[in-house]
Structure 1
């Protein structure tokens, strides 16, 4: 009778140690949230994150979002697009530059019938024989103002695209961060299990040495640890992958492996976590507030950045159509020139010279441009209709996104209530019943471990349900464009 009692005490002490690290072994009393939110099991105040076997700098979601604004490379590229669009406003708000030219006569010759043929050549001075020209294009139809308006519309499109890029990158960051917190919580469960099992195994070893139990009991116990070790390895790998994804979104290096020493150098989990750039900190057990009503979210989608960008792109297409229509007013090209020439009027060897100068003014206008202009107008009109259709499609897609995100939220809320309020409590009760039967001699230690394994699976499922709820709220904010829905972790 002494042997089962000692083993039961060891398992109970191990479970108590696990409970101190993560508050999911013993479920808290079920509390009901307001009518707008889900009914969930409130986490205990002692639910602190488990200590990792490696020291890492911590990072919260708020800190990660602040870093994203500065270091996210996709966002940086989008901002450069705004800079490029603003530079094009300077180009558009400029009339065609005038051109100046100069033509120089560099040589000449003379012929005379009196001397029957060619009689030589002589060079000419640049100051005595040259022509200067100035050409100015006069735009008609308000083309400069229309070009400027089009460039300004393109700036507004680029600015809306920056906001849409920010919306998408924030959503990706939150998804990766929530996934990291889920893996972090599962890793905490697995680490607590390892400590508990290590304590139990140490007690069994002492009992084997004292001859209280056969060695076969210790071997069966050690064999039963394999699933727990697999869960630990999977959780560590999932956490490392999630942290690396967060690092990529923040433009950080996730490949710098730390040098481990002491016990950490022999710990498989520490080796897996060596390249992790930071420890993701946050409470996955956070009870989020209820989001706004579905009708309010549906009305807010018109202000979603991608919808706004599509509408502004349609306005830019309209400005481009007006610019194409302005080509029906033909531009004028005015050319002025001044020339001076001084050449000797006798044979190349003579001394007589004659100087002449002239000033001229010319105007030109392009001909036969109607087909080119009308083709450009037709193309711009078609692009304008295309942009309007795309704007309507963007709004319809946004409305569909809100509908899908709302359905995901409802499903996540129901799953969270079912998992944390029912399944977790039943798994806890099943474990307690198995432990009591073991103490009474009606169950074996392996039965207790099997019940613990079931409880662990339920705890992991509860972590998944909590993470799914947080993802659903982040998705609802991303789909509607309404800020403040995703909870602060």
Structure 2
């Protein structure tokens, strides 16, 4: 399968993460200067620093509200989709059709029976008259090379159909994994938006107190109100996107998931250790179902060429008949052979040869594309890991520290409210980038597993008892 779904979903995640950031360019908060000697912070509501733990608790409450219903891990979710997805079930049934084609190709031609009856009248004096009957049976003896080539073509088609089931399963599992991580991304974005809105409400309360006391102009309150409204709107948008992601997963499972369920996984779950690129390439060449389908198509095209070439040799038809006249009984054995004098099967042979070359070209081209996609996914995984490490260990901490400094400077009168809002905007932007980077790590790892054909021949269906324990029934 082409990796367009991966790239499209990754682009959507980047766009949604960008929507969580204020469109205006964020200006980094200037470092605060220490309070001048003898200067004391203002008293009242605006004297206390921002309560970051309370804001984090607000985000945790949103996460808890999304975790209703029985918990399902990734394996249980995947198994439920595999058992109920209509597309995969249809691909599995198509394999039965291809298996029946082998029986059709292996069938022998039926014999033919002939019977005729009539009357014989004497036209001369002394002639013999009476009834006439003729019995006959004929059997076509197929060219063995033609028959073998036809059966080989049907078997190649059956193998291609089986590999198509692997393609459908591999694509489906990869899509489930990607959609599951997209659900986790939306839930994390909703929690981050709730935390940002809680911080903005704290700022809004203190700005309102200053405006009411006449210490600050009213435009600061208008700006704080606008930021708070925007944060709440982004939170609602993220919640709706999380619900939509859950509905998409339920659609893949044909509605077999419970009405309320939660995903027992984390966006920050560390994927398995990154394997060597050469090992991934060997696994891809050996197990990728797309390549296996194309190889089966090459084998079928080769069998079709053999079938066309064997068509030059004629069939042999044996015929045994008996004719009974009033005074004579005749037994005859005949052989019928078609001579390839005018039709040398040059047209079908040329068509089959061209189809074989086209199948080989598709195989070579797709193999080269998959090798490039494998290298691209491996590099994307490494870059995403480095980005997560840089953001989680440096940028997020610096943004949080900058917010504390800007808040302290504002409380001591060294900076304005706009500096605090800018610092909060920078923090939201960095956290959104961190969430997107974590999603990209999971998406790149999923793409590597997809390209290597990890789920092509892996039946992950759980028995019904296990599904009941997981809360699916």
TM bracket (short chain): 0.7 to 0.9
Matches within 5 A, 1:354-393: 360-368=332-340, 371-393=343-365
SS in 1 for 2:334: strand
- Secondary structure, aligned partner of 1:134: strand
Q: Does 1:249 align with 2:256?
A: no
In the TM superposition, 1:220-239 aligns within 5 A as 221-239=224-242
| Alpha-carbon shift at residue 278 of structure 1 (Å) | 4.5
1:294 aligns to what?
Answer: 277
CA shift, 1:3, in A, is 7.1
- 2:311: which partner in 1? 327
Which residue of 93, 106, 116 maps to 2:106? Answer: 93
Cα RMSD of the aligned pairs, angstroms, is: 4.0
Deviation string for 1:309-363 (max 9, x for gaps)?
A: 222322222222223222232111233445668xxxxxxxxxxxx7987655433
Asked if structure 2 preserves the Cα contact closer than 8 Å seen for 1:325 and 1:377, the reply is: yes
Residue by residue over 1:347-381, the C-alpha shift from the partner in whole angstroms, topping out at 9 and shown as x without a partner, is: xxxxxxx7987655433222345634333333323
- Does the CA contact (< 8 Å) of 1:328 and 1:370 recur in 2? no
Q: Name the count of aligned residue pairs.
A: 410
SS in 2 for 1:400: helix
Taking structure 1 as the reference length, what is the TM-score of the superposition?
A: 0.71
Q: How far apart in 1 are the matches of 2:195 and 2:117?
A: 92
CA 1:200–1:111 in structure 2 vs 1: closer, same or farther (change >3 Å)?
Answer: farther
Answering whether residue 464 of structure 2 is matched by residue 426 of structure 1, we say no
Quick one: distance in 1 between partners of 2:142 and 2:370?
43
Query: Does the alignment pair 1:51 with 2:64?
Result: yes
Alpha-carbon contact 1:50-1:191 (below 8 Å) kept: no
Residues 1:204 and 1:442: Cα distance change in structure 2 (over 3 Å): closer
Q: Superposition pairs for residues 77-476 of structure 1, below 5 Å?
A: 77-103=90-116, 132-194=135-197, 221-252=224-255, 278-303=261-286, 304-338=288-322, 360-368=332-340, 371-443=343-415, 447-476=419-448
Q: Measure, in 1, the Cα distance between the counterparts of 2:66 and 2:378.
A: 39
Query: Are the aligned partners of 2:268 and 2:438 in contact in 1 as well (CA < 8 Å)?
Result: yes
1:68-83 counterparts in 2 under 5 A? Answer: 68-83=81-96
**Equivalent residue, structure 2, for 1:32:** none
Q: Which runs of 5+ in 1 are unaligned?
A: 23-46, 114-123, 259-276, 342-353, 485-489
Q: CA deviation at 1:459?
A: 1.1
- The DSSP-based 3-state class of the residue aligned with 1:371 is coil
1:445–1:51 distance in 2 versus 1, CA, 3 Å:
farther
Contact 1:428-1:455 at 8 Å conserved across structures: yes
Tell me, in whole angstroms, the C-alpha distance in 1 between the residues paired with 2:62 and 2:136.
81
Alignment-derived partner of residue 17 in structure 1: 54
Q: Secondary structure at the match of 1:465?
A: helix
Name the CA distance, whole Å, in 2 between partners of 1:53 and 1:81. Answer: 39
Distance 1:357 1:57 in 2: 87
CA contact (8 A) 1:301 1:395 kept: no
Task: Measure the CA separation in 1 of the matches of 2:74 and 2:320.
Answer: 68
Alpha-carbon distance between aligned partners in 2 of 1:59 and 1:215, rounded to the nearest angstrom: 52
Q: Which has the higher contact order (CA 8 A, sep 6+)?
A: 2
Cα distance in 2 between the residues matched to 1:225 and 1:94: 76
Looking at structure 2, the residues matched to 365 and 203 of structure 1 have their Cα atoms a distance apart, in angstroms, of: 103
Partners of 2:201 and 2:70 in 1: how far apart?
A: 28
- 1:457 is displaced (CA, Å) by 2.3
Structure 2 counterpart of 1:6: 45
User: Matches of 2:115 and 2:80 in 1, distance apart?
Assistant: 58
**Superposed CA offset, 1:190-211 (max 9, x none):** 2344456667778999x79x99
1:74/1:458 CA distance change after superposition, 3 Å: same
CA distance in 2, matches of 1:64, 1:363: 65
8 Å CA contact 1:298–1:402 kept in 2: the answer is: yes
Preserved CA contact (<8 Å) 1:3 1:213 = no
Check 1:437–1:104 CA distance in 2 against 1; reply closer, same or farther (3 A cut).
Answer: farther
Q: Structure 1: how far apart are the matches of 2:413 and 2:333?
A: 117
Residue deviations 1:76-97 (CA, integer Å, cap 9, x gap): 2222232111111111111112
Contact 1:139 1:332 in 2 (8 A): yes
Query: Contact between 2:396 and 2:431, CA under 8 Å: does it hold in 1?
Result: yes
When Rg is computed on C-alpha atoms for both structures, the one with the higher figure is 1
Cα distance change, pair 381–438 in 1 and its aligned pair in 2 (3 A): same
Gaps of 5+ in 2: 1-39, 125-129, 457-473
Preserved contact between residue 89 and residue 151 of structure 1 (Cα < 8 Å): yes
Per the normalisation by structure 2, the TM-score is 0.73
In structure 1, what is the Cα distance between the partners aligned to 2:82 and 2:376? 28
